[in-house]
A = this chain, B = another copy of it.
Amino acid sequence: MLDLTIENSQLNQRLVESGDWNIVETEFDSTQLHHQETVFTLSNGYLGTRGTFEEGYPQDCPATLIHGVYDDVAIATTELVNCPNWLPLTIKVAGERFRMDCGEILSYERRLDLRLGIVSRDVRWRSPAGHTLEFHFERFASLANQHFLATRCQITSVDFEGEVEVEVGFHPEPHTQGVKHWQTLKQGGLDNTIWLHSKTLHSAIELGMAAKLVVEAEETTTVHVHQLEQHSPTLITKLAVIPDKTITLEKIVTVYTSREISTPAEAAIIRLVTAPSYSTLLAAHIAAWDQVWQESDIVIEGDRLAQLSVRYNLFQILAVAPRHDDRVSIPPKTLSGFAYSGHIFWDTEIFILPLLIHTQPALARNLLNYRYHTLPGARRKAQEMGYRGAFYAWESASTGDEVTPRWVPTPNGEQVRIWCGDIEVHINTDVAYGAWQYWQTTGDDQWMRDYGAEMILDTAVFWESRVEWNQKRHSYDIRDVIGPDENHDRIDNNAFTNLFIQWHLQTALTLWDWLVKSYPDTAAQLAEKLDLQPEQRQLWAKIAKHIYINQDLETGLIEQFEGFYNLEYVNLADYEPRTKSMQGLLGVEATSQKQILKQPDVLMLMYLLRDRFDRQTLQTNWDYYNPRTDHTYGSSLGPAIHAILACDLNQSAEAYTHFIRAAMVDLADVRRNAHEGIHAASAGGVWQAVIFGFGGVRMTQFGPIACPNLPANWTRLQFKLKWRNQTYEFDLMK
C-alpha cells in the first residue's frame, strides 16, 4: 500500500479522496514487462524515466531521456539519447540478491498515483533461502525542481534476522537501442555522495548526475565504496535487520546538463549536498502537481475507466511538457521510449498543444517558441530545396534542420526511400495553425508580435514558392506531397494540404493587417527581415482563392487527392480480426494503390477547420472516408479525431469506441506497441475528444461554449478552460 509519511494533514486528506487517481498493477506478468515499463513512466517537464525496476530485471529496458539531449546517429541523423540511469538500487538479503525473477513473489502491487506523480511498488518476497521480507519502493521526478529525482525503499523483515546490503549507483553509459552515445569524463564519490560527469560522443552535451543515500535505521554500517575498479561509483550500506522493524533508505539524485548550465557536474553536486530531505522534496513535488491539476483536471462521473484513462493521458502530457526550456518540444513517444528517435513532429502542434493552450498556456508557449527558435533550420531547409521563406522539418530536433531519415533499411535488407522530409509539406501550416490557436485562445498579443507573426508569415512565404500555377485549369496546384494519410505518398493536390494552406494564407493576411495596425514598427522590421513586399498580399489572396480542390458541388464530397477515386476500394471488414495495420498486411506498394487510409485526411481537415464545413458536408465525407480508414492499426492519431467528428454527427456510441481506443492505447496496449513508449499525440487527442467531442466545446468570439454530447453512461463532466486570461469552469451534466 502507498504509505506516504508526509507530515501534512492536508496531503493525507487528499490521499483518502484519491479514488480515481491510481493506475494499479496487482500482479507481475513478465510478458508485459516492457509494456508496463512504458505505463509507469514518470516525467517532470525535463526528464522522463521508464518504469523499470530499481533492482533491474532480465531484458528490462530502462530509459532516462532528457529534453534536448540529442546525439548523432546513423539513419535518423540525431536521436534523443538514453541518459545515465539514476535508478539502480539493489538489495541483498543474506547475500542473495532481490529480484522479481528470483525467489518467490508472495504479493505484489505497483501503483502510479496520477495526482501525486508517484510510482510505488509493494513486494512481499521470499528469498531462495526462505527469508521473507516486504519491500516498499516509491519514486518521483520532482515537478517542483526539475533537477531532483528521488527513490525511497522501505524494507520490513517478516522472519529474517541478519544482514541486508543495499547498493545504490548509476548506470553511466547506457546504450540507445544498441548505439553508444556517452563517454564518462569523470566519476567519483565522497562520504555519502557519488557523482558522474559524462559527455555525448558527438553533440558534446555534458551531463552531471549526483546521488546520495540516506538511511534511517538504528543499527547501520554504511560503507561508502565510491569507485570500484572498472565500475561506476557506488554507495553500499549494510543493515542489521530484525523482524517487524522497518528500515528506510532514500536515494536523492540530481541531474543537470550543459544545456542548462556550463558546469553540470558541479551543479548536480552542489544541489545534491544542499538538498532538503526526501519528505520536503516530496511535499514540494506534490504541491506542484496539485497546482497543475487545479487547472487541467477533467472529472468524469459514471465511467471510472474513462475517468482514470483520461487522467492518465493528461498526466503523461502534463508531466512531459517542458516547463523551463523553450528550445525543446514533446516527442511522439514523450520521454518514455526510443521510437521516432525523439524527433519532433506535427503531433505536438496539432494533437498535444490544445490541452496546453487551454489549460497551461505558459507550457504551450514553450512548445511554440521551440518552433520559433528552429526557424533558422526551417529557412535552411527551404533554401536548400530552392524555395523561399521557411519550410519546417517534418522531423525536427535541436536545430530545426530536417532529420527525417531519407533511406531506411527494411528487415530484408532493402533500402526504402522515405519522402516525408521532402514533401509532407503540411507541417508548415500545422505549426502556423498551432501559433494561431495559441494567440486566438490566450490573446497574447506580445507573443504574436515577437514570435508568432514571424513563424506564420515566413511559412506563408514558403507556400508562394511551393505552389504551381496550372494554366490549363486556372488553379494553383501543390504537387508531389504526402498528406496526413501516409498510406499514399507522392500525390498531387492533397485536399487537406491545399485547403489548410488556403487557411494559412488567408490567416497570414489577417495577421499582417493586425500587425501593421497594432505594431507598425514591428511590422516594418519584419517586412524587411522577411523581404515582404506589398504585392505579395495580392499573391497570397490569389493563391488562396484559386488553390485546386476537387469537391463535388452537390454532395460536398472532397477527393482526398487527385486520383484517389480511381484507387481500388477495399472492404476492411473482410480483414478482421487482425493484429497488424492494413499496410503491414498488404505491403506499402499495394496499400498505396487502394482506398485505405492510415488516418483521417479530409476528415482531419474538417476537424481542424471545423467552422468551414457544415454538418451535411461532414456527414458526406464521414460516410465516405470513415469506412476506408484503418482505425485499429492505422495511425494512433486517428481515433480521437474520429471520436470528435462522430460527436459532431451525434454518433456518440461510435464516438465512444474511437475514444476508448485512443484513451486506452497505452494502458491496455490496444495497438501492441505500447512498449515503444507512450502515444503522446493520442493522449493529446483524448483531451480534445473529451472537450471538443463529448463536451462539445466550440470557441466563439465570446469564449468557449459547450454543446455536450456525453456518452450514455457519463453523468457528469467537469473541466476548466482558459480563454484570454479568464478561466471558464464547465460542469456538464446529463
Contact = CB atoms under 8 A, between A and B. Distances in A.
A103 interface: no
A231 to B, nearest CB: 14
B263 A266 contact: no
A538 to B, nearest CB: 49
Contacts of A189: 263
A191 B193 CA distance: 20
A227 B262 contact: yes
Contacts of A190: 261, 263, 266-267, 270
Interface string A243-282: 0000000000000000001110111011001100000000
A53 interface: no
A405 interface: no
Contacts of A269: 266, 269-270
A202 B58 CA distance: 47
A188 interface: yes
A186 interface: yes
Interface string A698-722: 0000000000000000000000000
Interface string A155-190: 000000000000000000000000000000010111
A195 interface: yes
Contacts of A262: 188, 227
Interface residues of A, number: 18
Nearest to A197: B266
A60 to B, nearest CB: 30
Nearest to A195: B266
A191 to B, nearest CB: 8
A contact patch SS: mixed
Contact of A193 (B186, B193, B261, B270): B270
Nearest to A208: B266
A199 to B, nearest CB: 13
A263 B193 contact: no
A274 B533 CA distance: 62
Contacts of A193: 270
* Centre residue among A227, A262, A263, A274 by max chain B CB count within 10 A: A263
A67 to B, nearest CB: 21
Contacts of A267: 190
Nearest to A191: B270
A190 B260 CA distance: 12
Contact of A270 (B186, B263, B273): B273
A262 B266 CA distance: 15
A271 to B, nearest CB: 8
Interface string A204-229: 00000000000000000000000100
A82 B575 CA distance: 81
A270 B227 CA distance: 17
A184 to B, nearest CB: 13
A188 B197 CA distance: 15
A509 to B, nearest CB: 45
Nearest to A272: B270
A165 to B, nearest CB: 24
A263 B263 CA distance: 15
A193 B266 CA distance: 10
A266 B265 CA distance: 9
Interface in A305-336: none
* Centre residue among A261, A269, A270, A273 by max chain B CB count within 10 A: A270
A633 B261 CA distance: 58
Nearest to A193: B270
Contacts of A195: 263, 266
A263 to B, nearest CB: 4
A259 to B, nearest CB: 15
A424 to B, nearest CB: 43
Contacts of A261: 190
Contact of A263 (B188, B191, B273, B274): B188
Contacts of A273: 270, 273-274
A88 to B, nearest CB: 20
A683 B63 CA distance: 64
A226 to B, nearest CB: 9
A72 to B, nearest CB: 24
A270 B194 CA distance: 11
A414 to B, nearest CB: 48
A194 to B, nearest CB: 10
Contacts of A191: 270
Interface in A61-82: none
Contacts of A265: 266
A584 to B, nearest CB: 51
A672 B485 CA distance: 92
14 contacts: A186-B263, A188-B263, A188-B266, A190-B261, A190-B263, A190-B266, A190-B267, A190-B270, A191-B270, A265-B266, A269-B269, A270-B273, A273-B274, A274-B274
Given A190-B263, A266-B269, A273-B274, 5 more contacts: A188-B266, A227-B262, A269-B270, A270-B273, A274-B274
Q: What are the nearest 7 A-B pairs in CB distance?
A: A188-B263, A270-B273, A273-B274, A273-B273, A190-B267, A190-B270, A269-B269
